[in-house]
Amino acid sequence: MQEPRADHAVVLGGSMAGLLAARALAETYPEVTVLDRDELVPGVVARRGAPQGRHIHALLARGQQVLEELFSGLTDELAALGAPVGDMLGDARLLFGGHRLARARTGLHVLSVSRPLLEDRVRARIRGLGNVRFAPPCDVVGLRPSHDGRRVSGVQVLRRADASARETIEADLVVDATGRGSRTPKWLESLGFDRPEEDRVRVDVGYATRRYRLPADGLGGDIGCVQGPVPDRPRGGALARIEGDAWILTLFGMLGDHPPKDPAGFSSFARSLQFGDLRDAIVAAEPLDDPIGFRFPANVRRRYERLRRIPEGLLVLGDAHCSFNPIYGQGMTVAGLQALALRDHLRSGAGSSTRSVLRTLARAIDVPWELAIGADLSLPGVEGPRPLRRRAINRYVTRLQAAAAADPELSRAFVRVTGLIDRPETLLRPATALRVLRPHTSSQQPAGLGDSLGRASP
Ligand SMILES: Cc1cc2nc3c(=O)[nH]c(=O)nc-3n(C[C@H](O)[C@H](O)[C@H](O)COP(=O)(O)OP(=O)(O)OC[C@H]3O[C@@H](n4cnc5c(N)ncnc54)[C@H](O)[C@@H]3O)c2cc1C
């Protein structure tokens, strides 16, 4: 980064993190090139390079705000294309920790859209910027060092065409957004630098997803329903209405307890969940396809900010920097927060080192990482350190979720934190803690309650 007045930035990976990074860079760099092994052409398809796009992709409340900040009017554009928009807690059912959160209006938007449509519209916005170019499909195979070895001066690529040979693309800044399989640690090693340390929390999550057409009253008028895991049963799912009046149902199980991909097994897994909302919703639904699966082994955080030496001109963001257990729906929002951090850094004109920018990018990860691994480590089978503080917080959150079943103020506060709007400490404010710790009676009714749920009052 050392020279802020640079001309050409190259983004490796044109998925959500790469697109959002390109948006941020385009404000400062006259020329931005996005490289991907997929051809990034218009179209609403789950690309080979982002196969997770076939599964439900929830956008956290903060994610919706960030996308709107980067692409003004995007929410309305998607709504006009049929994506439902509603209130995060007023129009969606949230079932966390074995409790049904009390319904309330939050003023926070839930934007329910398939991942391929979201990506297509974001890509179209990027294309419209004028100074961002999508290169023909290529594999990025290495970094190119400067003569003195202290900078990255470009990348080496292999075009996806017959008889192609290695080519170099020169760049003043290289941003790795190639996802969780990123090879930057290996490339750094081959250039004589250390690999970053990795924090890993193994969760062994299995996903299975199927699309449906639901009867007219669908989910009793709600846009979606999310059911999280509980300690003695680490399985759950999410159902959402998306564009085209279709519904997408993703079931998941952790620690090897994976949902089957055959239609009968899939439905039976839905029936096995603690609450009956998902089961009831699909009883009379028409399946639009067969279930498809996905395996996700572990949360992985690469500690680039701790490296003592790293070449200038190289940044890493998105899943390449940190990939989270997908059941918390954080990945796209965190990629957006990192893009905002990068944009603000570049706007400030500060010609700081790669290390300091990486530290800024890492700060955007701190809270969501703690939320994800904190929740994962509340499940007894997940291995990882459980210092006293984490155990105390998890006990408090368990109690908060129980109290939030009957207290709209608490459910609102909880959703603001999990939606990355408010910092987790807000849940410890005295007024909130009093509501959590006062004696309460549980209002839980585990199964088959979808139809008896009152709609939230404004
Ligand atoms: C099953 C599942 C469900 C998820 N659900 C949610 C959700 O509900 N909400 C949410 O916010 N997030 C969710 N995520 C996370 C979300 O998909 C990612 O955080 C988001 O796509 C940003 O990732 P990324 O752009 O960093 O990487 P990716 O999306 O993995 O994209 C990497 C890109 O780099 C390209 N690439 C990789 N290597 C090379 C190379 N060597 N050369 C050229 N191109 C290359 C690939 O083709 C791809 O386009 C989910 C993830 C999974 C796995």
Mean pLDDT of the chain: 93
CA 299 to centroid of ligand 1, rounded, Å: 14
Q: Does the C-beta of 294 come closer than 6 Å to ligand 1?
A: yes
Pocket test for ligand 1, best of 35, 57, 117, 175 (most atoms within 8 A of CB): 57
Residue 447 pLDDT: 38
Instruction: Classify the C-alpha dihedral 160-164-166-168 as positive or negative.
Output: negative
Q: How is residue 235 written in tokens?
A: 């399985």
Averaged pLDDT, 112-127: 98
Residue 442 pLDDT: 56
Name which residue sits closest to atom 19 of ligand 1, judged by CA: 331
CA–CA dist 57, 73 (Å, integer): 20
DSSP-assigned beta bridge partners for residue 328: none
Asked if residues 149 and 192 have their Cβ atoms less than 8 Å apart, the reply is yes
Residue 441 pLDDT: 63
Residue 163 pLDDT: 76
Name which residue sits closest to atom 23 of ligand 1, judged by CA: 319
Residue 277 pLDDT: 97
- High-pLDDT (> 70) share of the chain, %: 94
* pLDDT at residue 443 greater than cutoff 90: no
* pLDDT at residue 45 greater than cutoff 70: yes
Name which residue sits closest to atom 46 of ligand 1, judged by CA: 49
pLDDT digits (tens, 9 = 90+) for 150-162: 999 999 999 987 7
pLDDT digits (tens, 9 = 90+) for 372-423: 999 999 999 999 999 999 999 999 999 999 999 999 999 999 999 999 999 9
Phi/psi for 196 (5° steps) reads -70, 150
> How many residues would you count in the chain?
458
What is the three-class DSSP state of 277? helix
CA 323 to centroid of ligand 1, rounded, Å: 9
CA 177 to centroid of ligand 1, rounded, Å: 9
Q: Does the C-beta of 52 come closer than 6 Å to ligand 1?
A: yes
Residue 351 pLDDT: 64
Q: Name every residue whose Cβ is closer than 8 Å to that of residue 27 and which is 6 or more positions away in sequence.
A: 343, 346, 347
Q: Which atom of ligand 1 is nearest to the CA of 182?
A: 38
Residue 455 pLDDT: 36
Neighbours of 359 (CB within 10 A): 14
Indicate left, alpha or beta for 313 from its phi (over 0: left) and psi (-120 to 50: alpha). Answer: left
Residue 270 pLDDT: 98
Name which residue sits closest to atom 48 of ligand 1, judged by CA: 49
- Token match 């004589």: residue? 192
* pLDDT at residue 4 greater than cutoff 80: no
* pLDDT at residue 250 greater than cutoff 70: yes
Residue 349 pLDDT: 73
Name which residue sits closest to atom 41 of ligand 1, judged by CA: 140
Asked if residues 322 and 184 have their Cβ atoms less than 8 Å apart, the reply is no
pTM: 0.95
* pLDDT at residue 51 greater than cutoff 60: yes
Of residues 143, 198, 140, the one with CA closest to residue 323: 198
Name which residue sits closest to atom 44 of ligand 1, judged by CA: 36
CA 336 to centroid of ligand 1, rounded, Å: 13
What string of DSSP letters covers 361-416? HHHHHHHHHHHHHHHHTTSTTS-S---HHHHHHHHHHHHHHHHHTS-HHHHHHHHH
5-9, 68-72, 129-133, 304-308 — which is least confidently predicted? Answer: 5-9
| Inter-CA distances, 358 with 12, 196, 447, Å | 16, 12, 46
Name which residue sits closest to atom 30 of ligand 1, judged by CA: 179
Q: Name every residue whose Cβ is closer than 8 Å to that of residue 304 and which is 6 or more positions away in sequence.
A: 196, 310, 316, 321, 358, 361, 362
Residue 218 pLDDT: 86
pLDDT digits (tens, 9 = 90+) for 281-310: 999 999 999 999 999 999 999 999 999 999
Q: Does the C-beta of 179 come closer than 6 Å to ligand 1?
A: yes
- Token match 């070449």: residue? 311
Q: What share of the chain is helix, strand, coil (3-state, %, to 5)?
A: 35, 25, 40
Residue 216 pLDDT: 84
Complete domains list, the chain, with CATH: 8-56+120-197+303-374 (3.50.50.60), 59-111+385-458 (no CATH)
User: With bands split at pLDDT 50, 70 and 90, how would you rate the model's confidence at 458?
Assistant: very low
Burial class (CB in 10 A: 0-12, 13-18, 19+), 298: middle
Q: Does the C-beta of 331 come closer than 6 Å to ligand 1?
A: yes
